[in-house]
Structure 1
Amino acid sequence: MALSVLPSPDNFVGVALVINRSRDGPRFVFHYPPHVAAAAAQSLGSQADHGDDMDDDDDLAPRRNSRMASFEGSSSHAEHGADLGNWNHDDHLVTDSGSQIVPWERVAGFPTKDLENILTPARAYHKRLFQVSLDPLYCVSYPIYVPENGVWRKKKREQQRTSGVKDDDGSAQVETDGAAKSGDKGASDADRLDRRDAAKGAEEAEDKKSNMTMFNLVFFLHPNKHEVRDLVDVMFVHIIKKINKAYKYCQQRSDFVWKESKKILALKDKGREDKRKMSLLWDEILATSSLAASMQDIYEAVSQNKIAALQLETAEGMVTHSVQIPVPFHVSDLPPDPEGDQSGLWMTTANSFIPDDDIEEPEYLDKNFALLLLADEKKIVAELQGDPDGATVSMVEFVRHCKPTLSFHQVGQQSSNVLTPAQVRKYAEHFIYWRRAIAIPPLHARDMYIVNPNCDMRKLQQASARWARQFPLLPALPNFLAELSVAPRPYKLHCPSKAHRHVYMQMLAWLMRGGWVTQLCTFAYVVVWPEIIYEVEYALEAEELTSAKRAQGVAREPSPSDTDTTLASPGSSISALADTATAGFGFLSLLDDASNMSSSVATLRPNTSSDRDTPIASPLRRPGDSLSRGTSHDSSVSAASLSTPAEQAAEKARLERIADKAARDLAERAMAHARKAAPVRTAHPSVNSARHLVGISPRIILDAKKATGKESRYLSAIGQRLRDRAAAAPGAASKDAWEGRVAETWPLFWKYFNGRSALERIALQEEMKRKDVWNLLTAMSEFFICVRHW
């Protein structure tokens, strides 16, 4: 299982905000980090993708070309006008001509005057992927445009008028008691307030129409050539799109983006006049603007592959939003590069080998997986209680009942049905997505656990220190891992006594949480031994012979109503007999039946010396009388359809030869079957070395649940052996009952013998005791072969 391309400080170099104003045009508002690494090459190529509307590219091409020319001209002027090589990118730089170069007006080596034009796409890119290549940098964004009516704020439902109205500063004005008492005066005041509200609304709408028309949060990426598509896709889906939507929500509610942008631009203009250092100005902006602070959080969290928690201080209150790129917490195969990002991940095939039929079944997941919290339970409960919500109580209840030894199904039962199965799955998915837990098969003392082949031994020293603080009186972490590596055995055998079982299960959970151990699972395939293969083949051949004998008897004994017809056309009986011999498997039953058939055919033999296999061609035959052909022999032609007695005699001779040949072939097969050794069921077919089994190799059924044809007959034959063993079992009645239970369980268990379903999960899936399951598997172990891996 390969990890997707994830952002890092090497391929995610910065984030910037660009807005567009209807009066003054685009503005480059803010970027973080303060110093974005300059691109190695400054050749500009543009690439834009906005869903299915690619026809708009022709209209936008002249605009991109003009921007490119402006970009190259201004860049060349800046390079020749100042000595940028010795510039520390923190102080202001004054050129020989007296012009001032401000440090924050260059990002990634490009002037912001040019970037703000390039990164302001047309409305056709509204809420679509916009991608520009500044080789080797890629600017990726999700532009948000103002609605067509020019107003950001959505229309709210008409609310009931209250006695107070708010001024621009938010302070409330309350009506006087005199106005409330006088009806006429109150009516005039109400009319005045209505006009005042209407005028204020018109002014606000006009103000919003005359200001920001678009904002665009742009992400500067520097991926490797073969990682461009993957990195752009993962960033766009999980980060870029969601953050811009969060900003849009705040902008529609309280004009958040525009107000914060004005604040940041005012601070930058003042810093330009005062020639403030960029480091000091950036500290002030980050402390003043929650929008700028959120951009800082986005870059620092996403580049480190962490969860970015945004806190946007709007006029209507705090708005919180979190984004992240979900990462897998497990791998199924050893990574090719153990030093890569995959090292240290928990290794298992439990999440990869989910059957296609069960992946959509909630009950399968509920019974086969448990939740392992990655943080302390008390800490998670405190976080939940600190954020009051309608689901807080039930989520706290879920955390308190959730144990790594209990499946989701058992958690619902432990909570006295307070939590429904749907709630358990929903909360488990929530904690897994936000990296507070991982889904694992329930821990059990009877299962085997080994050192994770993918564990990161570079972290062993730090992990040993934490282990010693967590379990001070128990063996050191390196010693315990070495004990697990000696020989796989049930985990309970590592525990000194049953009194220590609880502590050792906590140790196991700690090791699973850090990816130090993984479960060694058992997988099985059904094996069919030569004795069973021979028995099934022998039975199939006997059934074919019996079927052919029955078909021969039906064809040889015509009904009384057909006597006249048979006498009138004697060739018809031979035709029917030949068709019967060549139909189906084509077997006649026994030698005596073949001889009877030969004698019956002899009575119908005509006095002709013709040896031809085809009817005699006659010029008197009509054009419509054609002879049809069968699959392997010429089909019979009824005597009534032939024109002359000679043709009828020839047809009877031909059918006679076909019937004779079929009778001889099938008689030989019957004799060969009679000479075969009859199958004998032995107590242990795996060690049967009889002579008639030489040359027959055992057969593996890859998926017993999907077995058809002979494979299904093999499974039934194995089940019959188990039933015969139960019927012939001597001794006490309890033994007979046990053998009968083994036979009854065989059809229930064989669906797990596919090499993908771990046998350790059968007890969970069938809600049986683990000890009983293993005893039953041991009793039928002769008929399947096992392999073990993670």
Structure 2
Amino acid sequence: MAMSCINPENLLAVALVINRSRDGPAFVFHYPPIVQPVNGAAEPADGVDLEDLLLERLSLRSRRDVGAAEVSSPLRHHDDHLMTESGSQIVPWEHVAGFPTRDLASILTPARPYHKTLFQLSLDPLLCISYPIHVPENGKWKKARKADKSRASGSRQADELVAPHETGPAPSAAKPPEPAARDKDGKKEDADDEKRSSMTMFNLVFVLNPKKNEVKELVDALYGNIVKKVNKAYKYSQQHSDFIWKESKRILAAKDKAREEKKNMSALWKELLQTSSLAASLHDIYEAVSQNKIATLHLDTAAGVLTPSVQIPAPFFVSDVPAEHEQGQRGLWLTTANAFLSQDSLEEPGFLDRNFALLLMDDEKKIISELQGDRDPATVSMVEFVRLAKPTTSCVHPRALMPMPTPFYQVGQSSVLTLGQVRKYAQHFIFWRRAIAIPPLHARDTYIVSPNCALTRLPDASHEWRRAFPAAPPLPNLLAELSMCPKPYKAFCPSKAHRPLYLRMLAWLMRGGWVTQLCTFGYVVVWPEILYEVDYEIEAEELAAAAEAASSPIDDAPKPAAEAPDRGHAEDGTAATARPTVEHAAEMARLQRIAIKASREAADKATAHARKTVPVATAHPSTNAALHLAALAPHVILDAKKATGKESRYLSAIARRLRDDKTRSAWQLMCKYFDGRCALERIALQEDMKRKEVWNLLTAMSEYLLCTRHW
């Protein structure tokens, strides 16, 4: 998972553009209010296309406006209205990033083929991306349905707008207003339909200033997580209450009035943000996304308040120590536990059940207090989940001050919560960045000071540590001990009675990215004794197959002349001359020479094979220094679960050497973890085995494992 690449430098603005059937495109609102022109715009070159010509016109018009005002510098920063020598008025909000908004509105209202697809427009060096929403084909935003069906479907669609795995209630829905009374000719209904259909599309546009090497990453991160989801939320509010159209009319009317009154931009924007929840939502989107936070919108629609939440998922771990210029990643949990997994598997709830635990990122009491302040019916269950999300080992005190991780499936075995609830609540806390998924902490595992810890935070962290654990050693002292020769974490506990406290301390350290688990990764190593044995067996099998083929020869020689098929008759009716016997004899002689040569080679191979030392399985192949093995080097199987051909025979030969049936059968099971990517400490969780049993088996297999240790 990559660190979010969005920041105020490359996300310049968020803007809403609409199109109307009679009045055409309109640039409704944008945030932040002042978007400065970006230097470095390319001049149109020869052979430009229609879009280039349009961009040239935009640029020329912008420069012409600036020249007419003779205040180029103030135009970039002005808050008040300016007047040109010719008497025309320059309105501060009618230019965004140096472009006139009336022209931007025209090019940012794409045709229906772009409906609900990625729309990308380059205003070099700027880039605009959006997910345009067009009115349905019948020209009406509101779907025709019965009131009760509308409410039921509305609740169902509203649920889709809530953040994934969010357990909060669906957006409240007020009672739909009674249908407007119709006059005898039904003109009232026609007028309402006309007003509703006068907006033919809307488009929430993100204006970017990306570096060349970050365009794809920037677009991918924004489009799927923010652009698409917010436009869908707007679509829902428009279909159920004409929210976008009504708010757009209010905003445009306020801007027109402010234009006449020459109200300064800061006053107008402050007013719009206070009175329009649509304008406020653009503010919230920009501020949250540009600062890598969760954007929770509050759309005050006629059908009730909608509160969709969107975010670009924040990484909670890194798999390698970041470079010097990536200081923003300092302090994140350093681990390869998730590095080789696909995003789909990480998002699959079932995967988390046995392999991961939930570590809350704040004090348990604080989280419970916040939950109890919510009237959501699910609050009781969520509070119980927080209380149960602790380790199941008997040494952990049930009233731990700091939350401790427990495998999800163990929490789901409680009589209070179902596994489905546990999965849902776990995803809820992870989405809201109130928890992270980590391998369960255990006193017998080894933890070291993380090479990615943010040492600049050590002074402040030391004060927090002292408040949380007044009886514990100072934080710098404990980190110094963990920096020495790695050993199981329980070795740092003064006594078994201190273990609950030290596990809570470990959770605190993990939460702040101060420590990481030192894990063991294994490859299968094939010693020369086994290499020789497999090669010897393969050679013996080939010789046996050749001998069997020689004992049952197949006569492929050409038929003699007497047996040759009739080639027809001569012109005089007599039989044609038979094949020449000289050619047949030559062919037979050639085949005989080949057969003799093959026989000699087979005999030579058999003789050489017979002279070889017969393989003998020793108790410790790794120490077998026999002379016939001197030329062989050990072979490492990089991924035992994908072994084929010779490598699969090596694995079988190793299995035959394992001393007891239990270890031999476990070898087949555990080979899938010998790929240098799966931490051997995870096997017990994934196979639902006891840790001691797993390590006993691994110890019995250790002669055939090449192990390395890292985070």
Paired residue total: 662
Distance 1:302 1:193, change over 3 A: closer
User: For residue 692 of structure 1, what is the aligned residue in structure 2?
Assistant: 628
Equivalent in the alignment of 2:190: 202
The one-letter code matched in structure 2 to 1:745 is A
Name the structure 2 match of 1:672: 608
CA deviations on 1:557-591 (whole Å, 9 max, x unpaired) are xxxxxxxxxxxxxxxxxx65x99xxxxxxxxxxxx
Aligned to 2:474: 476
Paired position in structure 1 for 2:490:
492
Q: Which residue of 1 aligns with 2:445?
A: 447
1:147 alignment partner in structure 2: 136
The amino acid of 2:216's aligned partner reads: R
8 Å CA contact 2:663, 2:700 repeated in 1: yes
Secondary structure in 1 aligned to 2:306? strand
Q: Is the contact made by 1:620 and 1:643 (CA closer than 8 Å) also made in structure 2?
A: no
Paired residues of 2:520 and 2:679 also in contact (CA < 8 A): yes
- Asked if 1:708 is matched to 2:644, the reply is yes
Distance apart, 1:312 and its partner CA: 0.8
Q: Which residue of 2 aligns with 1:111?
A: 100
Q: Which residue of 1 aligns with 2:415?
A: 416
Amino acid corresponding to residue 347 of structure 1 in structure 2: L
* 8 Å contact kept, 1:103–1:278: yes
What's the secondary structure of 1:754's corresponding residue? coil
Q: Distance in 2 between matches of 1:171 and 1:522?
A: 61
Check whether the contact 1:19–1:29 (CA below 8 A) recurs between aligned residues. Answer: yes
Quote the Cα distance in structure 2 between the aligned partners of 1:68 and 1:645. Answer: 89
The alpha-carbon deviation at position 431 of structure 1 amounts to: 3.1
- 1: distance between equivalents of 2:384 and 2:371? 11
- Structure 1 residue 39, shift from structure 2 partner: 2.6
1:486, distance to aligned residue in structure 2 (A): 1.2
Give 3-state SS (helix, strand or coil) of 1:372's partner.
strand
Cα pair 2:447 2:515 within 8 Å, conserved: yes
Indicate how the Cα distance of structure 1 residues 435 and 663 shifts in structure 2: closer, same or farther if over 3 A, else same. Answer: same
Work out the CA distance in 1 between the residues paired with 2:175 and 2:184.
Answer: 15
Name the TM-score, length of structure 1 as normaliser.
Answer: 0.74
Cα contact 1:309–1:323 (8 A) shared by 2: yes
Q: 2:448–2:482: 8 Å Cα contact kept in structure 1?
A: yes
**1:346 matched to 2:344:** no
* Equivalent residue number for residue 39 of structure 1: 38
Q: Which residue of 1 aligns with 2:19?
A: 20
Aligned-residue identity in percent: 61
| Deviation sequence 1:46-96 (CA, Å, 0-9, x none) | 9xxxxxxxxxx99xx59x957864763464044323424246522333444
Contact 1:67–1:118 at 8 Å: present in 2 too?
no
Mapped to 2, the partners of 1:508 and 1:416 lie a distance apart of 29
1:755 counterpart (671, 676, 695): 676
Shift of 1:308: 0.6
Does the CA-based 8 Å contact 1:2-1:335 persist in structure 2? Answer: no
**Is it true that 1:315 corresponds to 2:280 in the alignment?**
no
Q: Does 1:81 align with 2:17?
A: no
Listed as ranges, the matches of 1:376-455 within 5 Å are 376-382=363-369, 384=371, 394-403=381-390, 404-413=404-413, 415-416=414-415, 418-420=417-419, 422-455=420-453
Structure 2 residue aligned with 1:769 = 690
**Contact 2:292–2:311 (Cα < 8 Å) also in 1:** yes
Secondary structure of 2:433's match?
Answer: coil
Which residue pairs with 1:459 in the alignment? 457
- 8 Å CA contact 1:530–1:697 kept in 2: the answer is yes
How far did 1:300 drift? Answer: 0.7
Distance 2:453 2:261 in 1: 55
CA RMSD of aligned residues (A): 4.0
Counterpart-to-counterpart distance in 1, 2:457 and 2:685:
34
Q: Give the TM-score normalised by structure 2.
A: 0.82
**Cross-structure match for 1:681:** 617
Q: Tell me which residue corresponds to 2:500.
A: 502
User: Using the alignment, how far apart are the partners of 2:126 and 2:589 within structure 1?
Assistant: 89
Could you say what secondary structure the match of 2:300 adopts?
Answer: strand
C-alpha contact (below 8 Å) 1:15/1:295 kept by paired residues: yes
CA distance in 1, matches of 2:585, 2:115: 89
Q: Distance in 2 between matches of 1:531 and 1:43?
A: 68
Amino acid at match of 1:408: F
Moved more, 769-778 or 7-16: 769-778
Any conservation in 1 of the 2:296–2:307 contact (CA below 8 Å)?
yes
Report SS of the residue matched to 1:121: coil
Gaps of 5+ in 2: 150-173, 391-403, 569-577
CA contact (8 A) 1:75 1:110 kept: no
Q: Alpha-carbon deviations, 1:718-764, whole Å to 9, x = none? A: 232223xxxxxxxxxxxxxxx55434433333332222221111111
Kindly report which structure 2 residues correspond to 1:574-613, keeping only aligned pairs within 5 A, or say none. Answer: none
Distance 1:550 1:495, change over 3 A: same
* Aligned residue in 2 for 1:596: none
Deviation at 1:299, TM superposition (A): 1.0
CA separation of 1:740 and 1:150: change in aligned 2, threshold 3 A:
closer
Residues in 2 aligned to 1:75 and 1:547: alpha-carbon distance in whole angstroms: 87
**For 1:355 and 1:134, how far apart are their aligned partners in 2?**
35
CA distance in 2, matches of 1:653, 1:213: 90
Cα distance, 1:319 vs. partner? 0.9
Counterpart residue number, 1:601:
none
Task: Summarize the Cα distance change of 1:228–1:448 in structure 2 as closer, same or farther, 3 Å threshold.
Answer: same
Show CA shifts across 1:364-414 (max 9, x none).
Answer: 54322222222333444455555555755554444332235422232222x
Query: In 2, distance between residues paired with 1:524 and 1:357?
Result: 25
Contact 1:34–1:282 (CA under 8 A) maintained in structure 2: yes
Report the secondary structure of 1:486's partner residue.
coil
Amino acid at match of 1:766: E
SS at match of 1:261: helix
Match status 1:370 vs 2:357: yes
> How far off is 1:516 after superposition?
1.9
- Residues 440 and 543 of structure 1: is their aligned pair in 2 closer, same or farther, counting only changes over 3 Å? same
Q: Quick one: distance in 1 between partners of 2:283 and 2:692?
A: 56
In structure 2, C-alpha distance between the alignment counterparts of 1:21 and 1:363, rounded to whole Å: 48
Which residues of structure 1 form unaligned runs of 5+? Answer: 47-56, 161-168, 174-189, 556-574, 580-613, 626-641, 724-738
Structure 1 residue identity aligned to 2:222? M
Cα separation, partners in 2 of 1:777 and 1:356, compared to 1, 3 Å:
farther
Q: How far is 1:282 from its partner?
A: 2.0
1:779 aligns with 2:687: no
For the pair 1:718 / 2:660, whether they are aligned, the reply is no
The AA in structure 1 aligned to 2:615 is P
Asked if the contact 1:126–1:142 (Cα under 8 Å) also holds between the matched residues in 2, the reply is yes
Q: Does the CA contact (< 8 Å) of 2:2 and 2:315 recur in 1? A: no
Change (3 A) 1:654 1:487: same
What secondary structure sits across from 2:120 in the alignment? strand
Write the distance in 1 (CA, Å) between the matches of 2:35 and 2:648.
Answer: 66
Q: Tell me: CA distance 1:278–1:644, structure 2 relative to 1, closer, same or farther (3 Å).
A: closer
Q: Distance in 2 between matches of 1:159 and 1:226?
A: 51
Change (3 A) 1:68 1:691: closer
Task: Return the alpha-carbon distance in structure 1 between the equivalents of residues 377 and 189 of structure 2.
Answer: 35
Please state how far the C-alpha of 1:309 moved relative to its aligned partner. Answer: 0.5
Judge conservation of contact 2:12–2:208 (CA < 8 Å) in 1: yes
Asked if the contact 2:356/2:440 (under 8 Å) is kept, the reply is yes
Deviation at 1:298, TM superposition (A): 0.9
Higher mean C-alpha deviation, range 778-787 or range 656-665: 656-665
Cα distance between partner residues in 2 of 1:140 and 1:368:
38
Give 1:165's aligned residue.
none
1:360–1:526 Cα change, 3 Å: farther
| 1:81-113 deviations in Å (ceiling 9; x for gaps) | 342424652233344444443333333233333
CA contact (8 A) 1:35 1:107 kept: yes
What SS does structure 2 have at the residue aligned with 1:341?
helix
Written as runs of structure 1 = structure 2, the 5 A alignment for 1:288-303 is 288-303=275-290
**One-letter identity of the residue aligned with 1:145:** H
Amino acid in the other structure paired with 1:701: I
Distance (whole Å) between structure 2 residues aligned to residue 122 and residue 392 of structure 1: 46
Larger Rg: 1
Asked if 1 retains the 8 angstrom alpha-carbon contact of 2:55 and 2:123, the reply is: no
Alignment of 1:552-591 (within 5 A): 555=552
> Distance in 1 between the 2:513 and 2:540 partners?
58
Aligned equivalent of 1:633 = none
CA contact (8 A) 1:449 1:484 kept: yes
Q: CA offsets per residue over residues 122-144 of structure 1, 9 Å max, x none? A: 44433333333333322333333
